[in-house]
Amino acid sequence: GAVVSQHPSWVICKSGTSVKIECRSLDFQATTMFWYRQFPKQSLMLMATSNEGSKATYEQGVEKDKFLINHASLTLSTLTVTSAHPEDSSFYICSASGGSGYNEQFFGPGTRLTVL
Amino acid sequence: GENVEQHPSTLSVQEGDSAVIKCTYSDSASNYFPWYKQELGKRPQLIIDIRSNVGEKKDQRIAVTLNKTAKHFSLHITETQPEDSAVYFCAASQGAQKLVFGQGTRLTINP
């Protein structure tokens, strides 16, 4: 089946530093990747949608200069949290889909970010 | 944009009984409705989905029904087992567009 990996699975960083999270589709080409954030006991909130080779589309209220997304290839998207603060601590999950008209999204295992 | 409402937020049922979770959506253009099961600290797992050209779909103990006119869809789990305890999310999307998730339902199966 379609497998999506994320790295790292967890990360602890100091306030003010930047953290990069990788999302890879291992056995299919992901034309679209999505980045979600999930706070404890809450739902998944979409942060941005990225298509290979083009700029990401951010949801309202998500700071594009703080959450940098790069989708450089059909198998890799990265999310960089710049100048992280404690309020950025959350569970970040990516998902990938294989193309237009194909609805199912395949989720990565998530990255637990803790900012001290 | 799309808005998905999910009820109830918590649900407790006796093992062997049925559980029903309901969702409503706002955008009549949405045509894909997946349901996910998420265990603590894990990724959401797709358990069943339905497309707008179908009114009902069943997979063993799990079924989903869709009422396009009323814009609501429901998850039915029969013969519940302790391993069904988890948080369940409904979602809606249009084609390959972004998924909009409901608020989630914490299902507890009591032995």
Name the residue among B42, B46, B102 with its Cβ closest to that of A43. B102
CA of A18 vs chain B CAs: smallest distance (Å): 23
CA of B50 vs chain A CAs: smallest distance (Å): 10
Would you say residue B60 has pLDDT above 70? yes
Would you say residue A71 has pLDDT above 80? yes
Contact between A74 and A65 under an 8 Å Cβ cutoff? The reply is no
pLDDT at position A104, please? Answer: 82
Nearest CA in chain B to A50: B98
Own/partner contacts of A15-20, CB < 8 Å, gap of 24 or more, are A15/A84, A15/A85, A15/A86, A15/A115, A15/A116, A16/A83, A16/A84, A16/A85, A17/A83, A17/A84, A18/A80, A18/A81, A18/A82, A18/A83, A18/A84, A19/A80, A19/A81, A19/A84, A19/A113, A20/A78, A20/A79, A20/A80, A20/A81
Quick one: pLDDT band at residue A53, thresholds 50, 70, 90? confident
Summarize pLDDT for A21-37 with one digit per residue, the tens.
Answer: 999 999 888 888 999 99
Would you say residue A101 has pLDDT above 80? no
Region A10-25: mean pLDDT is 97
Name the residue among A34, A42, A104 with its Cβ closest to that of B46. A104
Region B87-102: mean pLDDT is 90
pLDDT at position A99, please? Answer: 55
pLDDT at position A8, please? Answer: 98
Summarize pLDDT for B24-56 with one digit per residue, the tens.
Answer: 999 999 999 999 999 999 999 999 999 988 899
CA distance A75 to A9: 18
Quick one: pLDDT band at residue A75, thresholds 50, 70, 90? very high
Cβ–Cβ below 8 Å for A104 and B49: yes
CA of B17 vs chain A CAs: smallest distance (Å): 25
pLDDT at position A48, please? Answer: 95
Cβ–Cβ below 8 Å for B49 and A49: no
Chain B residues within 8 Å of chain A (Cβ atoms): 32, 34, 41-46, 49, 51, 89, 93, 95-96, 98-104
Which residue did the predictor score with more confidence, A102 or A95? A95
Region B62-69: mean pLDDT is 96
Cβ–Cβ below 8 Å for B104 and A42: yes
Quick one: pLDDT band at residue A102, thresholds 50, 70, 90? low
pLDDT at position A72, please? Answer: 83
Per-chain mean pLDDT for chain A: 92
